[in-house]
Amino acid sequence: MTEKNVSENFITQIIDTDLESGKHQDIVTRFPPEPNGFLHVGHVKSICLNFGLAEDYQGVCNLRFDDTNPAKESVEYAQSIQRDVEWLGFKRDKEVRYSSDYFDQLYTYAQELIEKGLAFIDEQTAEEIRENRGDFTHPGVNSPHRGRPRSESMDLFRRMKAGEFEDGKMVLRAKIDMQSGNLNMRDPIIYRIKRQHHIRTGDKWCIYPMYDFTHCISDALEGITHSVCTLEFADHKPLYDWVLDNISIGCHPHQIEFNRLNQTFTIISKRKLIELVEEGVVDGWDDPRMPTVSGMRRRGYTPQSIREYAKKSTVTKKPSIIPMSTLEDCVRQELNTIAPRVMGILRPLKVVIENYPEGESEMIVAKNHPMDESFGNREIPFARELYIEADDYKENANRKFFRFTEGREVRLRYAYYLTCQRAIKNDAGEVIELRCTYDPETKGGSSPDGRKVKGTIHWVSAQHADDVELRLYDRLYNEKSPKGMDNLNDNSLEILESAKIEPNIINNSEGIRYQFERMGYFYRDKIHETNKPIFNRIVTLRDSWAKLEQ
């Protein structure tokens, strides 16, 4: 049995009932982003839910751009969204759709509401409309233009379309109920004048429909059966239904709201994400610290791990927030299975093996994956001079420190036992080199006399290692529930320009995620390289933020 994309939830129960009752024979969903920014982790749940439901029920999911606000939209954003959806592994059965595909029909339906006396042209200012709308404790006040004759509203609406009036001069409003307890039903604006070049229709239109008017009609025109959206649209549902009930259209989709994906240590407001980009806090929408799909892809996250994360976000009617560690755990679990192991040194400390023959080297056999023999083995050069992690030496260390200190024997991964004889320091008192001896009888990491060594460390040959730049990413915010710039983590990026990795990795790094043993998982950031290869740390081997998530 094929595993479902979407775990059973109240939405799947609704769909099952609709299919069993014969209300629908086929399922059609949609993912309708506005092309005004890059997709972020909050969108992932909606993408996986809408496309996943369509796949699970052998239906169709439309990718439709809500392009009704041309001032904030761009082709770049639209292209990035398509790329992200495809990268996540979802395929469209049809071409990408746009709300602008329906501008002519939307205009016709708006005229129908005017003809029925259900819409009117209002010439109040935006401030007057906002003030007269009331609030949750005060009812709204009817516009002085609410009783305008239908013919007059129709004439003005057509003249709006013809470009006779300046921006903001008037709007088309639905005539519903200014006393309604739902503010969305207090004669909402459905068309406004906006002279703005559109990414698809150019300068054909100078009036644009509002989202609430556009969205429901677009759903109906596409034959959407289940319009799945997040909880903030629950208060918009009465307007969704009102529009469709009052125009001549043959389809009425069922809007269903679910809890959006909120994540700790993360802000997903597009306005604040744009601020991060424009203020130079990050180096773009695809910065690996950004919660965008593009950022996660560049960092090295896999689409499978992101989809698994979305699946773990329970679909309910109750708002929730998910620990970022859940996402990172999904990434770790995936990488632990697929990532070959190699050795890389983040902060090199030189080691000279004094009793190893000068000018000689040998090949050490190492496993590419200790838990999966199908990955095979590789050979690593070993020589007199090595690099180890600087943290693997401590002066005058106690017995609980199992790595290098004077007189202590340590195992080199896959190689030999080494004993640290002394440390060499510079004039500032900093350790710059270790002098060691090795036991040639311990090749492979074990001793013929059976003596045990507790510490095992990784290494690379100084002569054969490749120079790389490593970028260590951490959480962009240091607060569990961040508000903005005041909560930025000053240590969210550390660049290590002197790192070393074993040879034959750089030329075999295309699309491969590696585990640098003991150091974490890394992915090459080739597109952003200048002087030397760059590897981004995808995630550490263990979660260092667990206590803060509680």
Q: What is the dihedral of CA 228, 232, 235, 238, to 10 degrees?
A: -20
Among candidate residues 148, 200, 270, 435, the one labeled active-site is 270
Element (H, E) at 352: strand 348-353
Which residues does 254 contact at the CB level (< 8 Å), separation at least 6? 14, 18, 225, 226, 227
Q: Which of 30, 192, 260, 299 is catalytic?
A: 260
Query: At 310, phi and psi to the nearest 5?
Result: -60, -35
CB–CB of 229/257 below 8 Å?
yes
Q: At what angle do helices 237-245 and 211-221 cross, to 10 degrees?
A: 60
What are the C-alpha distances in Å from 341 to residues 90, 237, 335, 497? 30, 52, 10, 22
SS (H, E, C) 209-251: ECHHHHHHHHHHHCCCCEEEEEHHHHHHHHHHHHHHHCCCCCC
425 phi, psi to nearest 5 deg: -115, 155
Neighbouring CB atoms inside 10 A of 188's CB total: 20
Q: Give the integer Cα–Cα distance in Å for 75 and 391.
A: 48
**Residue 483 φ then ψ, to 5°:** -105, -30
The secondary structure element, H or E, covering residue 432 is: strand 431-439
State yes or no: is 4 an active-site residue: no
Instruction: Please count the CA atoms within 13 angstroms of the CA of 352 that sit on its side-chain side.
Output: 10
Q: Burial-class residue 280 by CB neighbours within 10 Å (0-12, 13-18, 19+).
A: exposed
Tokens matching residue 255 = 């809007």
**Closest to 112 in 3D by CA, of 143, 157, 171:** 157
Q: How far apart are CA 254 and CA 366, in angstroms?
A: 58
Distance CA 92, CA 133 (A): 41
Structure tokens at 109: 């339906």
Say if residue 548 is exposed, middle or buried (CB neighbours under 10 Å; 0-12, 13-18, 19+). middle
Residue in 34, 308, 409, 469 annotated catalytic: 34
Known active-site residue 159: no
CB 229 within 8 A of CB 30: no
3-state secondary structure labels for all residues of 279-297: CCCCCCCCCCCCCEHHHHH
Q: Please confirm, yes or no, whether 260 is among the known catalytic residues.
A: yes
Task: Give the residue numbers marked as catalytic.
Answer: 34, 260, 270
